[in-house]
């Protein structure tokens, strides 16, 4: 009795996800920026990678208008304390932001096999987090930690449950090839911003190259 009921509920969700997800990947994500004007602030979720990634994304966040990108939620890997310190350095008012911890999808030197488990774990952790926060913007720059929250946002977007913009900024270090997160988020993110010409232009028409 329960099984058919679950099937009847889940089946349409899966079908809708596949159809709408494909539509988003092919016809919405990676297109030219539409001219819009907005006055309301956007709740911004910022995924902190670790080390260099955190430094890079916070340099960008420092240039964003703190009244427009408000409030800010930083999502941080559990094993990283330095990131926390760096956030405190750029945030002045404690009421403007908060920091949430999730687990990391791949430790340095962790094998790709065991990293599948940690990634699945991180995806399940991201569901309640994203649903609770309902951000207007998800900002990330790798590494693997940022993939699970992006996939979950993409899932909710596909089902019309959220309308969150995902922006992925590829690291300054990647000159000729995309990182693993870049390769995946090139399709999943609404916009991919790159810093070197080989990752944009005719090679990768979906990305936005910053000269």
Q: Is 184 in the site for other proteins (CB under 8 A)?
A: no
Binding mask 122-141 for other proteins (x = CB under 8 A): --------------xx-x--
* Parallel/antiparallel/unpaired status of strands 207-209 and 191-194: parallel
Stretch that binds other proteins, among 5-13, 19-27, 70-78, 188-196 (CB under 8 A): 188-196
Long-range CB pairs of 111-117, under 8 A, 24+ apart, other chains included: 115/144
Q: What stretch of H or E contains 149?
A: helix 147-158
Nearest CB to other proteins, comparing residues 127 and 136: 136
Q: How many angstroms separate the CA atoms of 187 and 189, rounded?
A: 6
Of the candidate residues 8, 33, 94, 108, the single one contacting other proteins (CB under 8 A):
33
| In the complex, least distance from residue 196 CB atom to other proteins, rounded to whole angstroms | 7
End-to-end distance of the chain based on CA atoms, in angstroms? 60
- Name the residue nearer to other proteins (CB basis): 152 or 189: 189
Q: How many CB atoms lie within 10 A of CB 90?
A: 12
Sole binder of other proteins in the list 64, 84, 99, 180 (CB under 8 A): 64
Report the residue number, 77 or 138, with the smaller CB distance to other proteins: 138
183 binds other proteins (CB under 8 A): no
Q: What is the contact mask toward other proteins in residues 81 to 110, using x (rule: CB under 8 A)?
A: ------------------------------
Contact 47, 146 (CB under 8 A): yes
Q: Where are the beta strands (DSSP E) in 42-180?
A: 44-48, 72-77, 97-102, 137-140, 165-169
Per DSSP, 136 falls in state S
Which residue ranges make up the site for other proteins (CB under 8 A)?
33, 36-38, 42, 51-52, 55-56, 59-60, 62-65, 68-69, 136-137, 139, 165, 167, 169, 171-177, 190-191, 193, 195-196, 208, 210-211
């Amino acid at each position: 009795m329960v099984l058919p009921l679950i099937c009847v509920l889940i089946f349409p969700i899966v079908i809708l996800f596949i159809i709408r997800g494909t539509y988003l990947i092919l016809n919405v994500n990676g297109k030219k920026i539409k001219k819009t004007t907005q006055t309301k602030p956007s709740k911004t979720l910022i995924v902190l990678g670790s080390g260099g990634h955190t430094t890079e994304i916070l340099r960008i966040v420092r240039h964003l208008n703190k009244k427009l990108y408000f409030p800010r939620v930083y999502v941080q890997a559990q094993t990283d304390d330095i990131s926390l310190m760096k956030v405190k350095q750029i945030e002045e008012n404690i009421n403007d932001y908060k920091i949430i911890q999730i687990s990391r999808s791949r430790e340095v030197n962790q094998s790709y096999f065991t990293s599948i488990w940690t990634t699945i774990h991180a995806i399940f952790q991201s569901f309640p987090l994203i649903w609770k926060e309902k951000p207007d913007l998800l900002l990330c720059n790798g590494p693997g930690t940022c993939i699970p929250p992006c996939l979950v946002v993409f899932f909710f977007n596909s089902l019309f449950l959220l309308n969150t913009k995902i922006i992925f900024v590829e690291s300054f270090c990647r000159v000729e090839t995309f990182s693993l997160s870049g390769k995946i988020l090139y399709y999943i993110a609404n916009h991919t911003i790159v810093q070197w010409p080989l990752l944009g232009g005719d090679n990768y028409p979906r990305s936005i190259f910053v000269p």
